[in-house]
Amino acid sequence: MKPASLRAALVAAACLTMAVSAGAQERYATPPPVVLSPDLAAPWVMQLQPRPIAGSSVRSNARKVIFRDAPAATAPRAQPVSVQRPANPAKTRGMDPIYLPQTVAYHGPEAPGTIVIDTIDRFLYLVLGNGSAQRYGVGVGKPGFEWAGSHKITRKAEWPSWHPPAEMIEREKAKGRILPIMMEGGPNNPLGARALYLGSTLYRIHGTNQPWTIGMAVSSGCIRMRNEDVMDLYARVGVGTKVIVR
């Protein structure tokens, strides 16, 4: 073998020996310590607990029930509101807030300025025009004293005196209640702060000293309102105003 070839063979053998030695040292060297994440380092029992999935609304708490709105196509239609009235008006001292005055939509045939009284739902409407009306809660005639018709306001009175009809006096006397022949106007007067007289009848739209009866059928046929409401209506209408009672 030539000297040059012998030298190359020796160099190659030396490189191979160094590579094998390095590989053996790397393979059998002590590996670096394994670093556990905080979750995996916890006791194994804790690792069994379900975890929320990141970026998801899924909850692991099976006891929690999430209610979602029904799709628009299957959502139930709104039901008419049923007005609940106390069974014993005489023992009630509160008025349902539904009977407080408010402006509502109105698309009926009556002309602006007309008063329309719904004795079923116990509301009085003053038609304002432009598709709206001012609505007030009222008390109406008790069973046997209901009536319907159309009249005009023929007289207006502030803090009116009360002259109970003879029929009422006799009727109440049979119940053991003595009514006066006449009572001057004032806070204790059953007609309240204002009265609007209807045609030539004995019926009136008037205030009351028993505001908790608004929304109930307890009168002898008159339409009663809270004093503050009848005062507001009184200022808005005049003699000759048409009143429709249904």
| Catalytic center residues | 206, 222
Q: What is the CA radius of gyration of the chain?
A: 45
> For residue 159, what are the CA distances in angstroms to 19, 115, 203, 233?
119, 21, 16, 14
The contacts of residue 232 (CB under 8 Å, 6+ apart) are 101, 136
- Do the Cβ atoms of 245 and 227 come closer than 8 Å? no
**CB-count burial class (<10 Å; 0-12, 13-18, 19+) for 98:** middle
Measured CA to CA, the distance from residue 187 to residue 35 in angstroms comes to: 87
- Other CB atoms closer than 10 Å to residue 174's CB: what's the count? 8
Query: E strand or H helix at 198, and its extent?
Result: strand 194-198
Q: What is the DSSP-derived secondary structure letter of residue 89?
A: G
Percent helix, strand, coil in the chain, to 5, is 25, 20, 55
C-alpha–C-alpha distance, residues 95 and 213, integer Å? 7
